[in-house]
């Protein structure tokens, strides 16, 4: 198998985690990281920061493959903006999957998504583009995860749930079977969702209730 070159966008903590997954997967050679302009010349885990967002088009000459390594907690605006920039330049956003994860051959994983160590994705699950499926999370059968969403560490999404686009499912939260979450849903860490929620809000607690609109 030929090792392909890849460039990462975002040099923070999530970048470090994705680097570890990429090195474990051993399908891509990381040739550099794009980050804030003031960080050019520095490095992350030994990989150089070679440019800023303004340099993406020029840097793409060295590799058509990019992955967004900015995390998503407060919002996903930067991830969405960068995804749209990469698509406008017709660049590739491969799927990155840790070999320590279980991903059913009957599932569907779309471009730009990263599946972290020890995640579990069951049959007929659909993960849309530019998602983060984080360490030890569980995506059960027939779940649909909308684009630009983040399922955080240890979260459990049970069968036949639909998670709207641009959502964040906090660490160790549980979504029971068949739940529908509207777009832009933020579920606080440790919450339990037992009923459909319309989205555009922050929810938390057991059971999860609306905290504030967003």
- Nearest in space to 113 (alpha carbons), one of 146, 77, 155: 146
CA angle 116, 77, 83 (to 5 degrees): 65
Catalytic residue among 14, 141, 148, 150: 141
Q: Count H helices, E strands: the chain?
A: 3, 24
117 is catalytic: no
- Nearest in space to 130 (alpha carbons), one of 185, 54, 76, 91: 76
Strand 201-204 and strand 185-187: the pairing is: parallel
- H or E segment and range at residue 181: strand 180-181
- Nearest in space to 10 (alpha carbons), one of 77, 90, 99, 62: 77
Phi, psi angle pair for 107, to nearest 5°:
-95, 170
Q: Which long-range contacts (CB under 8 A, 24 or more apart) does 122-126 make?
A: 122/159
Strand 132-133 and strand 28-34: the pairing is: unpaired
Tell me the catalytic residues.
Answer: 141
């Amino acid at each position: 198998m030929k090792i392909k070159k890849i460039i990462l966008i975002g040099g923070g903590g999530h970048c470090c985690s994705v680097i570890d997954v990429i090195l474990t997967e051993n399908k891509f050679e990381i040739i550099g990281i794009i980050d804030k302009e003031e960080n050019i010349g520095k490095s992350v885990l030994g990989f150089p920061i070679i440019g800023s967002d303004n340099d993406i088009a020029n840097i793409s000459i060295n590799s058509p493959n990019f992955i967004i390594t900015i995390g998503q907690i407060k919002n996903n605006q930067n991830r969405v903006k960068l995804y749209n920039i990469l698509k406008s330049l017709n660049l590739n956003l491969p799927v990155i999957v840790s070999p320590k994860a279980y991903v059913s051959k009957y599932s569907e994983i779309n471009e730009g998504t990263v599946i972290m160590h020890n995640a579990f994705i069951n049959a007929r699950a659909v993960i849309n583009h530019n998602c983060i499926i984080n360490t030890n999370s569980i995506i059960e059968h027939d779940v649909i995860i909308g684009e630009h969403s983040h399922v955080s560490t240890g979260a459990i999404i049970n069968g036949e749930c639909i998670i709207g686009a641009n959502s964040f499912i906090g660490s160790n939260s549980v979504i029971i079977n068949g739940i529908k979450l509207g777009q832009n849903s933020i579920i606080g860490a440790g919450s339990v969702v037992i009923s459909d929620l319309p989205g555009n809000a922050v929810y938390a607690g057991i059971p999860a209730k609306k905290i504030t609109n967003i």
